[in-house]
Chain A
Amino acid sequence: MNFPILTAIMLAPVAGLLLILLIPEREQLTIKITAAAATFVSLVLAVLAYVQYDHARGGLQFLQDISWVPGFGINYSVGVDGISMPLVLLTAIVIFTGVFASWDMTQRVKEFFIFLLMLVTGVFGVFISRDLFFFYLFFEVAVIPMYLLIGIWGSTRKEYAAMKLTLYLLVGSAFALIGIIALFLYASQQLGYATFDIQTLATVKYDLGFQKFVFFLMLIGFGVLVPIWPLHLWSPDGHVAAPTAVSMLHAGVLMKLGAYGLIRAGVFLFPEGAKFWAPLIAVLCIVNVVYGAMIAMVQRDLKFVIGYSSVSHMGYVLLGIASLNILGLDGAVSQMFAHGIMTALFFALVGNIYHKAHTREIASFGGLAHQMPRVAAGFLIGGLASLGLPGLNNFVAEFLIFMGSFTRDQALFGGILPFRILSILAISGIVITATYILRVVMKTFFGPRKPEWDHLEDARGVEMVPVVVLIATLLLFGLLPSLQIDMINNGITPLVAKVEAAKAIGGIF
């Protein structure tokens, strides 16, 4: 067997965590370097895996199987395909940059990095698991460190936000768990043996009622994490309260767990269920996109703006999923990646500002570009990515989503409302996004120089690591999207083939 690269990606943070346990609390720099090194190993391995992924062969690669609980068909089996590979890369990038974004951390450093690495282990685990049990297990592993990270190192109503976030996510995952168990039982009855292997589970024919029911459970369960309206409120509050690196990881990666779960454990396993619920997802996504963007427009706290912008942007992911075709799903996955990088960039920069200025009140800023030109430039680029400017990764993603949903030919409400109208409504979000993002840029960075902020220093040294890495990633995949889309498409094609092969059924509307 080859080198188990995926397991190594996941365990590198664990190794770092154990090392940090041994380092005394006062050796702060050593702790940070250890964390950076551990995540760097993950990053390098993730890039390596990304490059080595064999497009010609396609499918799941870098497989590794260890029998775990044979009686229940639980195996530790990992592997990535075109859908999960980019997300593994995303996680690696975001955590690596996140460590650097936390470089200025001075309070309870040891615990912080322990929890942070714990969190990221869970996230990696979700993306590489091929076994539904482990998938869920890792999914939940990520939640509790999050609570502590926000609760201890957060700001602005941190305890409330941390609790809210934890409960939302757990309640959501409760539904997913029920779905997974029901699925497992159904499948093992059909198959005659127990298994949690997603690929095998996908070969089972589930009857329509069951599909509808379980997909709905998955929709709630993973939808909370996406977050789907009206289950989204944990996210702005959580974003705002979380410390920088956690916000990055949280908005950058954790939300993607939801969408990924929805695709992997939802659409892939229950194509008919997905077809049934897709119109509802599409309608909710419009609310996400438009309503989220509108709310972002009137926020007074920088992080709240980004928090609601995440709600809005993840709406596009939902739109891509709801379109249930190759373009849409390609776009959805791409958007997951792009939004992850983009929002991580935002949070890194806002964290930088907050750390120096001790406020995030937009109204108190103005003209910061004078004092912090690099931060301003980075923020502007983030903003441009956010509003879908060509040349950046988000544009490709959103474009594909729009194309996908636009080319979906389906009539809702008895033929009165074409799906296309929904997609047009959702696309209109790009206008609102541009408005609020550029307004924030304007209010924060432009305008006359304010002397009270003259003490702010521009980002430099290690602070620039996240900015540079994240922007470079956005540009790379924005200018050369084939690098990304070919990979994703490789994973999406069989999935959509399954959806198309499924029985044609009407949607909920």
Chain B
Amino acid sequence: MITLNHYLAVGGLLFCIGLFGALAKRNAIAVLMGIELMLNAVNINLVAFNHFLAPDQVTGQIFAIFVIVVAAAEVAVGLALVLNIYRRRLDSNIDDLDWLKW
């Protein structure tokens, strides 16, 4: 029997993989990918909760849709910024973005 916890475990795993990607990758786009993974993990959680705990309402699914929308917006702006920076520095590595520090 597949329980809620199974889904949550998948969500958790996905979240942490995404987190690892976001923390450990040099390329800004890869970081964005990691973030997308994290958001997907949240969505799995939301939908699973919706399915197992409160199926009378679709709150979780609605929430997930909003998350997807926001994620899309974030990606759009994020990629635009990456392009902007790339054009200036010919580089999309985050390591090098340290003009602002201390």
Does chain A touch chain B in the assembled complex, meaning CB atoms less than 8 Å apart?
no
